[in-house]
Every structure is written in structure tokens, then in C-alpha cells.
Amino acid sequence: MTKKLLIVDDEPHIRMLIEQTLEDLEDDGVELLIAENGEEALRIIQEEKPNLVFLDVMMPKMNGMEVCYKVKKELNLSEVYIILLTAKGQEVDRQKGLDMGANKYMTKPFDPDEMLTIAKDILNN
């Protein structure tokens, strides 16, 4: 079964950076999906049920916290692993993200090698 990974960020250069970071996973049969905002992300998550989502917090239309809450608490898609990406590294923000149902929290700027390692670990389980 094909593994799916969704990248969600409203900034094109960050989306591209994450995509370039994770494109090696495509060699392992992972399908990369892209969303530019929270509404699009939610629709893709419902339709595609990705295994892993890298989800930006600060976005127009619907922020990452709201998307995370809807996926985990309202749709009960516990099998979707969500990593929130944010420039806000304070503990209170991290805790809020985890309370919304996020599995993990990464602060920007992120280390591409770490991101790839985490993605491989999650997708290989």
C-alpha cells in the first residue's frame, strides 16, 4: 500500500524546501501531497488519509491548530500522524499544539536531515 505524506504551508518557498527535503521518500514509494492552506489540507486529509502530515500553524483560511483539532478530535483520524511546524517555539504554543492532537511539534527553521529522518521513522512503522 502506498504511503502518503502531506505538506501544508502557505509560503511557496517553504513548501518547496520541505518537498525537496522529502523527495527522496518518493524512491521508497511515498506519494507527496501538497496543500497551500488549512481548508485544502483538511479536504486532502479526508480524501487521501495521508500517513503523515507536516502542518504549518500560521495560515490563512484555517490555521494548523484548527486543522489538527478537526482531524484528530472531530474526524477521529488517529492514524494520521501530524507534525505541527511553527516559528513559535514557546512551551505554551507547543503544549497547545499537543492538546489539539498533534503527535509532534517542530520549530522553524527546521533541520532538513532531522525532518527526513523523522518522516522515514514514522512511515516505516
Nearest to 102 by CA among 66, 50, 48, 49: 66
- Residue 60 has a pLDDT of 84
Per-residue model confidence (pLDDT) at position 88: 77
State if pTM tops 0.75: yes
Q: Which of 15-19, 55-59, 89-93 has the lowest mean pLDDT?
A: 89-93
Cα(123)–Cα(12) distance, integer angstroms = 24
| Residue appearing with cell numbers 492532537 | 101
CA distance 68 to 41: 10
Interval 14-42 mean pLDDT: 96
68-99 pLDDT, tens per residue?
999 999 999 999 999 999 887 788 888 998 99
Nearest residue to 94 (alpha-carbon basis) of 82, 111, 106? 106
Query: Grid coordinates in use for 51?
Result: 500517513
Tell which CATH classification among 3.40.50.2300, 1.10.3470.10, 3.30.70.380, 3.40.50.970 matches the domain 3-123. Answer: 3.40.50.2300
Residue at grid coordinates 511557496: 12
* Domain spans in the chain, listed from the N-terminal domain onward: 3-123
Mean pLDDT in the chain? 94
pLDDT at 52 over 80: yes
